[in-house]
Amino acid sequence: MTEVCVKICGLGTEATLDAALEAGADLVGFVHFPKSPRHVTLERGRDLARRARGRAERVVLLVDPDDTLLAAVIDALDPDVIQLHGKESPQRVASIRGRTGRPVMKAIGIAAAGDLVALPDYTAVADRLLLDAKPPPGADLPGGNGRSFDWDILRGALLPAGTMLSGGLDAENVGTALARTGLAAVDVSSGVEIRPGEKDPAKIAAFVAATRRRA
């Protein structure tokens, strides 16, 4: 079977970052979005990104960033990948990719089969797609809400290689999610937390182990 690519997102401490790296995570994510309980400052992000350099791909999650913020983030974290989790248009994704010279992962909110219509336009400009559950109405966060969508929506869909599944995943259900979607890349945040923003090293290890068993 294909090795499953695993991303642990929303890391904010050395201990939990080390737990993700030691468990074998392929990507580690740092959220720079003040509304999120997982938000890290640029200074904090700089330290964590340096700690992870060369050990995993370092992803910075941004929400509708302007050019000034992009420049500051690149300078501080020097990320390997930029994850866009807002309402960025395909044109804006292409602009960010060209401006920063970094691979871009674009998150797409999914609630119904009709949401898949947008995928080709983003496939053309992003290096990787991340399919996440649409947030509930009125939610402050575009992701990290611990919700999953109906994975059967993806049955028969033509998805680009590397498409990543997110939303409501944990060690108990990730095997089922992989089997039902046929995807080989997963992202987790709230599913490895004790409470919003507080990661649990044991849950991180269990999640990565569960994906490797599936692989």
80-118 pLDDT, tens per residue? 999 999 999 999 999 999 999 999 999 999 999 999 999
Q: Name the residue type at position 188.
A: V
Question: What is residue 213's predicted lDDT score, i.e. its pLDDT?
Answer: 81
- The ranges assigned to domains in the chain are 5-214
Q: What is the pLDDT of residue 9?
A: 97
Question: pLDDT-based confidence at 146, cuts 50/70/90?
Answer: low
- Number of Cβ within 10 Å of residue 183's Cβ equals 21
146, exposed or middle or buried, with CB in 10 Å at 0-12, 13-18, 19+?
middle
N residues, the chain? 215
* Mean pLDDT rounded to a whole number for the chain: 93
Quick check: 1 pLDDT over 90? no
CA nearest to 100, candidates 129, 128, 78: 78
**pLDDT attached to residue 134:** 86
The predicted model gives 188-209 an average pLDDT of: 96
The answer to whether residue 132 is catalytic is yes
Structure tokens at 27: 């990507």
> Which residue type, as a one-letter code, is found at position 69?
L
Catalytic residue among 5, 9, 170, 187: 9
Task: State the catalytic residue, choosing from 5, 80, 132, 187.
Answer: 132
Q: Residue 144 above 80 pLDDT?
A: no
Among this protein's residues, is 5 annotated catalytic?
A: no
* Mean local confidence (pLDDT), 5-34: 98
Are 148 and 133 contacting, i.e. CB atoms less than 8 angstroms apart?
yes
Would you state the structure tokens that stand for residue 81, as one six-digit string?
């990948």
User: Is the CB of residue 47 less than 8 Å from the CB of residue 40?
Assistant: no
Mean pLDDT for 24-46 is 97
Reported confidence tier of residue 141, pLDDT bands at 50, 70, 90: low
Question: Any idea what the Cα angle at residue 188 is, between residues 184 and 190, rounded to 5°?
Answer: 160
What is the pLDDT, as a whole number, of residue 147? Answer: 73
pTM for this one?
A: 0.93
Q: Which CATH class is domain 5-214?
A: alpha beta
Give residue 138's pLDDT: 57
Q: What distance in Å separates the CA atoms of residue 128 and residue 139, rounded to the nearest whole number?
A: 25
Does 134 or 151 have the greater pLDDT score? Answer: 151
